[in-house]
Amino acid sequence: MQSVVLKGHQDGYVINLKADAKFVDILRELTELFEQLQQDKKMDSEPLSFNITTGMRLLDATEKQKIEEIVSRYPLFSIHKITSEVMRVQDALEMIESKSIHLNANTIRNGQVEHVKGDVLFIGNLHQGGMLRATGNVFLLGRCEGIVHAGYPSNAEAIIVGNVHAAQQVRIADAVAIVAQEQVADDEGTVVYVNDLHVLDYTKHTEVKTIRPKLFARMGGY
């Protein structure tokens, strides 16, 4: 059985590694393949980059390194990316967690940082000097007198929804605003977002469809 199959596509070349093949056979056939390709290719030709797919097989870092070492012996060839149809359990759990909305009713006191992966619906109590930080969006229904940070560390598409009138600061990604210096309405329907000038701006929740249409669609509208 052939462990390595080269296929040509409109967008380039793909090398398929059979999921049930022995890894030692894959390495041997990869070496043979690139030896043959090097003989067929003129040295003054343009370099070729390959996508490698492993199907239902998941390569670890050491196995990927061994494949990269083989390809590195041939100056005209390189690997664009290695992809698989499966993922590690830990990666899958982190993906699920990052896309979930978490209900949080904690009390966050001065000096404390509450970190949430994904979106958070906060119904707790955020004291001055405390920080609520999420990698996704923040929806506020609780008391908020501290620092609210959405889109941590670099997701500028995140938003903060809720009454931030009494908050010390609002942050999205690397953009920061001191609420006391802004004319922020005492309104539960306030939305904080990063505008086209990459500064924090404020609008009403009815404008989410306009400023963040993908998020609006994911929320199902209202």
Both 111 and 21 in one domain: the answer is no
Q: How many domains does the chain have?
A: 2
Over residues 176-197, the mean pLDDT reads 92
Spatial neighbors of 129 by CB under 8 A, at least 6 apart, are: 109, 110, 111, 146, 168
CATH number at residue 177: 2.160.20.70
Tens of pLDDT, residue by residue over 16-72, are 999 889 999 999 999 999 999 888 876 557 888 999 999 888 888 899 999 999 999
Residue indicated by tokens 């007198």: 145
Nearest by Cα to 134 from 91, 177, 103: 103
* Gap between the terminal Cα atoms of the chain: 56
User: Does the structure show a pLDDT above 80 at 86?
Assistant: no
Of the candidates 86, 118, 145, which is a domain's last residue?
86
Joined together, the tokens standing for residue 66 give: 């061994």
**Least confident window among 1-5, 95-99, 165-169:** 95-99
The single-letter DSSP state of residue 94 is H
In a domain, 66, yes or no: yes
**Least confident window among 12-26, 105-119, 208-222:** 208-222
Of the candidates 86, 107, 129, which is a domain's last residue?
86
Q: Helices marked H in 78-123 — which ranges?
A: 89-98
Both 133 and 215 in one domain: the answer is yes
Nearest by Cα to 126 from 170, 157, 184, 87: 170
Over residues 205-216, the mean pLDDT reads 88
Both 40 and 131 in one domain: the answer is no
Both 82 and 101 in one domain: the answer is no
Both 64 and 14 in one domain: the answer is yes
> CA 51, CA 116: separation in Å to the nearest integer?
35
Both 105 and 73 in one domain: the answer is no
In a domain, 91, yes or no: no
- What percentage of the chain carries pLDDT values higher than 90? 63
Both 213 and 104 in one domain: the answer is yes
Both 73 and 134 in one domain: the answer is no
In a domain, 40, yes or no: yes
* Range(s) of the domain holding residue 172: 97-219
Q: H-helix or E-strand containing 26?
A: helix 23-40
CATH number at residue 35: 3.30.750
User: Does the structure show a pLDDT above 60 at 222?
Assistant: no
In a domain, 92, yes or no: no
Of the candidates 86, 107, 122, which is a domain's last residue?
86
Tens of pLDDT, residue by residue over 142-174, are 999 999 999 999 999 999 999 999 999 999 999
Both 197 and 119 in one domain: the answer is yes
Both 204 and 103 in one domain: the answer is yes
Both 149 and 65 in one domain: the answer is no
Query: What pLDDT, on the 0 to 100 scale, is given for residue 93?
Result: 59
